[in-house]
Copies of this chain bind each other. A is one copy, B any other.
């Protein structure tokens, strides 16, 4: 697959298709259509067909998509047909919520370790995890080969920690600190900042 030729905006929609298909499976559904997916997602059926056609032929004209088959195909495309290990850096309230988050199950990810630099937090428990000293971060990443980190440290520390993560071998960072980060080419970065989303809505409020 020539992933390099597929626009990031198309890749960005695939997880939404996958999530919707997985919910349909839970509902006991077997077959769906681009029309139905589109209605659930607020995306046109034509857009969905066009996006999926970049990766192959997944449905037949008139009979729709087999939900299990398309789910499996999307899991392969997004490389979540197996589970990725994740380290969480920063064990504040956000880090706690991430470490205990139930929504990773069956979606391709699992938290394997949580780190903090606060002596009062190190060795404390979050659910099944024992918070580890951030000084162990680099050796743990190198030893386990983990490629993905979720970052929930204060904005003032986020770039320094990011540099450390990248040097240790992390290749994808989901950043919860409210700051844009510099990463070298080949390292993926995504952001979650609830205030950015809230401000995108407040613009439209009277």
Question: Which residue numbers of A lie inside 8 Å of B, CB to CB?
Answer: 3, 8, 11-12, 14-16, 18-20, 23, 40-42, 77-80, 84, 86, 93-94, 96-98, 100-101, 103-104, 107-109, 147-148, 150, 155, 171-172, 174, 178-180, 188-205
With A202-B84, A203-B3 given, is the CB distance from A98 to B194 under 8 Å? yes
A158 to chain B, nearest CB (A): 11
A21 to chain B, nearest CB (A): 12
Complex interface: chain B residues within 8 A of A77 (CB):
203
Assembly CA distance A192 to B171 (angstroms): 22
Q: Are A180 and B148 in contact (CB under 8 A)?
A: no
21 A–B contacts from the bound complex (CB under 8 Å): A3-B204, A11-B203, A14-B199, A15-B193, A15-B195, A19-B179, A20-B180, A78-B199, A80-B199, A84-B202, A93-B97, A94-B101, A96-B97, A101-B194, A103-B193, A109-B198, A109-B202, A147-B205, A174-B197, A174-B201, A190-B200
